[in-house]
Structure formats: structure tokens, C-alpha cells
Amino acid sequence: MLRLPAFALRQPSSVAEAVALLADLGPGAKVLAGGTDLLPNMKHELVTPEVVVSLARVGELRGIHREADGTLALGALTSLAEVAASDEVARHAPALAQAAGLVASPQLRRMGTLGGNVLLDTRCRYYNRSFFWRSALGFCLKKDGTECHVVPGASRCVAAASADTVPALVSLDAVLEIEGAAGRRRVPIEELFGSDGAASRLAPGEVLVSVRVPPTPPGHRGAYGKLRERGSIDFPLIGVAVRLDLDAGGRVERGDLVVTALAARPKRVARAAALVGTRPGSPEFHDAVRDVAGAAHRQCSTLANVPGDPVWRREMVPVYVTRTFHAAGDGGGPIHHV
């Protein structure tokens, strides 16, 4: 049984109060949302904050609403269970609803928040371990060591982006609203992720306020595919978010494909444009999906950073891309085999 190290708990009741508190406390403080990632990481002594600032009492961070221009605004503290169950999200952004519904297990989706999922730390089979386990290996580049055990000689950590909702949000062009001591800013979600798995996503003292999904057209379809070992609990071995925007005649106007659990950031596969002009269910659509799946296989390299044989995981990329595109074309999904 791993114990939580001692820490002081602060519970602000507004975003402004949380930001002021974080500025006051400095880098020794850490934000807590649902705690389903932070608390295990504290038990593993991967992060050791002296003070934890819980957002649980900040009511303005909860809830889902549609704005006048059609943007769907999701408060950072909205639970994944609520995102998965929302009719509004299922209509506006089906890939997001499906991805949220496949995170972890029912209990973790009730505690875990959308904001915490977006800010989920990158994961690695050599890092998400107890202090004792990591010390036996001599630690690693991401914390306390100098070597990367995945890519020997690497100068940067290649731990994997592993949040299920992020590829869906990238395909939806989501924008993050963030507040810090310098005020509020909006950042396209893609800009949050760099190539270093050890880098922080937010500037010190910032709070993620909401996730904003721009309006999707009436013919929007999307789906999420997740490869994992068990039907529950496990993080993605591969996560595939697809987007199809159909015109009034039912032909693809925009196709998009984002794959995660490869390296520190999700990967957008450029060849999804091959789908434009095809009609789901037609032979042309089948051919275009096959082309895109082939491009994904070439462009997505898998590493031994997460569990599962990397060669097998790479072979599963085109399989999941194909099935997830066909599911989206049929207005279905998610794709999730156990």
C-alpha cells in the first residue's frame, strides 16, 4: 500500500481566488481537480507538492453550455461522466462524448474531470512507477535521472500523451481558456503540446478554466477508437479520433484524423484530406479510408514508452483508423474491442 505524502490543503471558492493563491504559494503548490492522476503521482513521489490547491469549491468551473455563436463551452471541472452522458456533446462533438466515455472506469469518470484529462501528464512504463521501482532502475531523464530507457541517448523525454479526450478535442479545433496572474488567454489545444514529455503544459500558477469547442456543421460526424488490453481501467495503447464533416449532398467536406499514445503529443495525420468529396458507404470512401489508414501506418511510429508490443501497436493503427472512420461514416462508434 502506497501512502500519500503529507501536504497542506487549500480550497479557494473562485478562479480569481485560486489564481491569487497560486501566485502567492509559488511553485511548491499544485492544482487538484478530481485527483485521479495527481494523487497516484504523489503516492509514486513523481510530484511532491507542499500545498495542494483544490478546485472542488469553484462552482464557476463546472457545467456545459452552448454560447450564442454555437460554441460549446465545457467547464474544466466538469466530470468525464457528465461529458460522456451529455446529449449536447453527443450531438455537437460525438468523438468527444465517445472518448470521455472510454476513459478508465465508471468511478474514475465520476471523479475525473475534463480539465484534468486535458492536462494529464504524459505516461511511460519506466516513469509511472513507485519511487522504489524507479530507484532500482537509476531513475530516468524525466525525473531524478539522466538516461531515457525508451530511446537510449535521447536528450528529450518521449513519454506518451495518453489522455483519451485530447485527440478528439484536437480534431474539433478546441480552444482552451486559461487564467493566470497576467489575466485570461485563449490557446488552440494543439499548441499546448510540445515534443518534450517532461515539459509542463501551463505556465506556473495558471488555471484551466474551460474547454471551448467551436460550432460544428449540421453534417458533422465523429468517432473515437481505443485500443487497450482490458475493457476498463487501461489507458490507450492507441487512441484514434476521426472527424467527417458532410455537405448537404452527404459528401465529405472535411476529414480529420488524430492519433494518440505515440509520443509526447498527439499526431494529426495529414492524408485525411483524401476523403474529401467521397460519400460514406461508397467504394470511393472505402478506397480513401484505406489510403488514409496506410498513411497513418507510415506516419505513426510507436515506441516502448507504454505497455504493449510496439510492433503490434503500430500494426493496429490502420486497423483502428479504418474501423473508426467507417463507424463515423455510419453515424456510430466508439470502436473498442476487448
Ligand X SMILES: Cc1cc2nc3c(=O)[nH]c(=O)nc-3n(C[C@H](O)[C@H](O)[C@H](O)COP(=O)(O)OP(=O)(O)OC[C@H]3O[C@@H](n4cnc5c(N)ncnc54)[C@H](O)[C@@H]3O)c2cc1C
Chain residues that interact with ligand X, rule: CB under 6 A: 30-38, 40, 55, 76, 80, 103-104, 108, 111-113, 115-117, 119-120, 162-164, 202, 207-208, 233-235
CB nearer ligand SF4, residue 162 or residue 322:
162
Q: Could you tell me the smallest distance in angstroms from the CB atom of residue 201 to ligand SF4?
A: 15
CB nearer ligand X, residue 76 or residue 84:
76
Residue 24: CB partners within 8 Å, gap ≥ 6? none
Buried b (16+ CB within 10 A) or exposed e, 73-101: bbbbbbbbbbbbebeebeebbbbbbbbbb
CA angle, 313 as apex, 309 and 319 as ends, to 5°? 150
Q: Could you tell me the smallest distance in angstroms from the CB atom of residue 126 to ligand SF4?
A: 4
Q: Could you tell me the smallest distance in angstroms from the CB atom of residue 139 to ligand SF4?
A: 8
CB nearer ligand X, residue 31 or residue 317:
31
State the Cα–Cα distance between residues 225 and 260, nearest whole angstrom.
Answer: 10
Question: Residue 31 binds which one of ligand X, ligand SF4, none, with CB within 5 to 8 A depending on kind?
Answer: ligand X
Site for ligand SF4, rule CB under 6 A:
124, 126-127, 140-142, 148-150, 157-159, 197, 305
State the Cα–Cα distance between residues 303 and 309, nearest whole angstrom.
Answer: 9
Q: Could you tell me the smallest distance in angstroms from the CB atom of residue 290 to ligand X?
A: 29
Three-class secondary structure of residue 62 per DSSP: coil
Three-class secondary structure of residue 39 per DSSP: helix
Q: Could you tell me the smallest distance in angstroms from the CB atom of residue 217 to ligand X?
A: 27
DSSP letter for each residue of 281-315: TSHHHHHHHHHHHHHHHHH----TTSSS-HHHHHH
CB nearer ligand X, residue 101 or residue 318:
101
Question: Residue 322 binds which one of ligand SF4, ligand X, none, with CB within 5 to 8 A depending on kind?
Answer: none
CB nearer ligand X, residue 38 or residue 175:
38
Bond prior to 334 in cis (omega within 30° of 0): yes
Question: Residue 256 binds which one of ligand X, ligand SF4, none, with CB within 5 to 8 A depending on kind?
Answer: none
CB nearer ligand X, residue 130 or residue 282:
130
Minimal CB distance to ligand X: which residue?
116
Q: Could you tell me the smallest distance in angstroms from the CB atom of residue 153 to ligand SF4?
A: 11
Question: Residue 35 binds which one of ligand SF4, ligand X, none, with CB within 5 to 8 A depending on kind?
Answer: ligand X
State the Cα–Cα distance between residues 124 and 133, nearest whole angstrom.
Answer: 13
CB nearer ligand X, residue 165 or residue 278:
165
Residue of 135, 127, 132 whose CA lies nearest to 162: 127
Taking every pair of C-alpha atoms in the chain, what is the biggest distance, in angstroms? Answer: 61
Q: Note the helical H segments in the chain.
A: 15-25, 38-43, 80-85, 87-92, 94-101, 106-111, 114-118, 131-136, 165-171, 283-299, 310-329
Q: Could you tell me the smallest distance in angstroms from the CB atom of residue 30 to ligand X?
A: 5
Question: Residue 150 binds which one of ligand X, ligand SF4, none, with CB within 5 to 8 A depending on kind?
Answer: ligand SF4
CB nearer ligand SF4, residue 121 or residue 179:
121
State the Cα–Cα distance between residues 56 and 74, nearest whole angstrom.
Answer: 16
Q: Could you tell me the smallest distance in angstroms from the CB atom of residue 42 to ligand SF4?
A: 17
DSSP one-letter code for 199: S
Question: Residue 21 binds which one of ligand SF4, ligand X, none, with CB within 5 to 8 A depending on kind?
Answer: none
Question: Residue 227 binds which one of ligand X, ligand SF4, none, with CB within 5 to 8 A depending on kind?
Answer: none
State the Cα–Cα distance between residues 216 and 90, nearest whole angstrom.
Answer: 12
